[in-house]
Structure 1
Amino acid sequence: MSSTFSDVKTMEEHFINTWDKLVDKLMGWIEASILILPNILIGLVTILLFYWLSKYLQILLNRILKNIIHHSSIRNLFTNILSIGVFVIGCLLTLSILNLDGTIKSLLAGAGVAGLAISLALQGTLSNTFSGIFISIKNEIQEGDWIESNGYLGRVVEINLRNTKLKEADNNIVILPNTMILNNPLKNYGLTHRYRATISCGVGYESDLERVRELTILAIESIFPSQGIDEEIEFYYKEFGDSSINFIVRFWVDAKESKQAMQVESDAIMKIKSIFDENSINIPFPIRTLIYQQDRPI
């Protein structure tokens, strides 16, 4: 009986000791919370302040870059990086205020390893991204420009961080990775507003060549009179062809895309043909003459 009473008393003392330790632990936590409460409030104010600062700097940087980088997707990349960077600094400062320096070191180490792994996995994507940034900063291509690159000809309808989209003359969309545009030859019709058109033609051997020259230049001047200071209508005879004496005429017009250039050349050809017809200038076509021998041996 005494043994049973002793066991109960031991259990009671063990329970009391456990309860006292639990109460002491809770009181320690409460005291620590009261002591760290000012730091929590300062940390909360700090992270809210840095969040507001990140958004304000994002808007400010976007306004500054609008005159430098015309593509919204590229501008958003820079502004988002700045906003995230400022907010991360605020988070690290808040952890420091809360005396969590060990957590900061662990986060920085983990971020370094994760960044290395991500950069290796996304090497091609990052290459296109940096190519897109470089293209945007250089302003060599703008949305709406008519360009020719990698065998494709069309209007630029979008430039983003990964690729450039072209709309061809047949309305098909071509998506070119930015690295292909940056690393290959590119013809941008939008970089200059003046286009030098070239028309090739031929006249009959019986023609007055000086008269042909005068009429051709007159035809061009009648529809494209605005030749600049260092620009002129050039006329050159090139060769004695099989059926004609061939020449080229070159002149300058306002054109920033392939469609305008084709329209200009079409108008010039129609005008030259019209003025040649009015002045009886022959534009011959190849003729094949067959000769039959009458007295051919059988």
Structure 2
Amino acid sequence: MKEEDSIFNITDAVADLWNKLGSWLDALILKLPNIILAILVLILFYLLAKYSVKLIRRLLEHKNVARSIINISTSVVKVIVIAIGFFVALGVLDLNKVLTSVLAGAGVVGLAIGLALQGTLHNTFSGVILSFRPELEVGDWIESNGFSGEVIEVNLRNVVIKQSDNNLVVIPNVKIVENPFKNFSNTQRSRVSLSCGVGYESDLEVVEKIAKSTISELFNQENLEEVELAYTEFGDSSINFTIRFWAEVSKQRDILFAKHKAIVALKKAFDENDINIPFPIRTLDFGKNKFRSETISFQQKT
């Protein structure tokens, strides 16, 4: 009896399984048009996202929008269009309950992820802010957080700059947003300062006239711009001055070579006019510091 019951139970189980498979197959056949339609919807929205990205990229490039803004804008549009297609496909399959569960679960998971990744999300939002700031664009030469270089990438996580020694520096977006940065490329002309000194025997008015004319011939001063010279101090071996002039500089390298040209021109002009640029001299005179020796005698009384 036990063997017959066992055989009977197994038969019933197989029959139940077969019935379930049959019902699933019937449901699949009934839902087949909806499944095909859902797949077509996903394909359609994928193609729509692809062409939307191309269209937005062309429009933004035509308006000379920053490359970082273009990349972020196209990424956001692509994600939104594909997400809409996914939800429409679920609606076609009559999976409204599943859709509600997915949205509820996504809300809970999103909250948990947001709490766990506060720093990362802060960095991401900082990247969005930087992408829409005209003060920072790809190709600019900036100085921030102790580093200076050319901006080669602005993404949702960090800003990548290439220094003059060709090394790359990755700075988190939040560091750029919360700390000041200097952009050399925002202005095509900047004021360059150079320090120098002349001997005490020099005629300071002549020195000023020669220095100003030399720099003015080398660097064109536009509109209200002018070359300025001010004597700053009586040094140990020279009277020091600072000369300031305007030049077309948009990178740190441009400032470096502007100073180079100015130094070469000033040295040549001073040499031609017998103006001395002294260097520090230290004189050691040992004659004034000799030790004097004397002999002292004591007389003993008897």
TM-score by length of structure 1 reads: 0.81
CA distance in 1, matches of 2:282, 2:41: 92
Compute the displacement of 1:205 (Å). 2.1
Query: In 2, distance between residues paired with 1:76 and 1:87?
Result: 17
Please give the residue correspondences for 1:263-278 in structure 2 after superposition, counting only pairs within 5 Å: 263-278=257-272
Question: Cα 1:75–1:126, aligned 2, differ >3 Å: closer, same or farther?
Answer: farther
> Residues 186-265 of structure 1: matches in 2 within 5 Å?
186-224=181-219, 226-265=220-259
Q: Sequence identity, in percent?
A: 46
Q: How does 1:84-99 map to 2 (within 5 A)?
A: 84-99=79-94
Q: Which consecutive residues of structure 2, in runs of 5 or more, have no partner in the other structure?
A: 294-302
Superposition deviation, residue 33 in structure 1: 6.1
- Structure 2 counterparts to residues 18-167 of structure 1, below 5 A: 26=22, 30=26, 39-40=34-35, 42-66=37-61, 67-71=64-68, 75-167=70-162
Separation in 2 of the partners of 1:47 and 1:207? Answer: 84
Secondary structure at the aligned position of 2:225 is classed as: coil
Amino acid at match of 2:67: H
TM-aligned CA deviation for residue 65 of structure 1 = 3.4
Q: Gaps spanning 5+ residues in structure 1: where?
A: 1-6
Residues 1:154 and 1:88: Cα distance change in structure 2 (over 3 Å): closer
Aligned AA (1:121): A
What is the SS of the residue equivalent to 1:106? Answer: helix
State the superposition RMSD in angstroms. 3.3
Q: Tell me the distance in 2 between the aligned counterparts of 1:195 and 1:296.
A: 59
Q: Which of structure 1's runs of 4+ aligned residues deviate more than 6 A?
A: 22-25
**Letter in structure 2 aligned against 1:194:** R
Task: After TM superposition, give the deviation of residue 182 of structure 1 in Å.
Answer: 1.4
Conservation of the 8 A alpha-carbon contact between 2:66 and 2:137: no
Q: Which amino acid aligns with 1:103?
A: V
CA gap 1:48/1:184 in 2 versus in 1, 3 angstroms = same
Count of aligned residue pairs for this structure pair: 283
Determine the structure 2 residue equivalent to 1:3: none
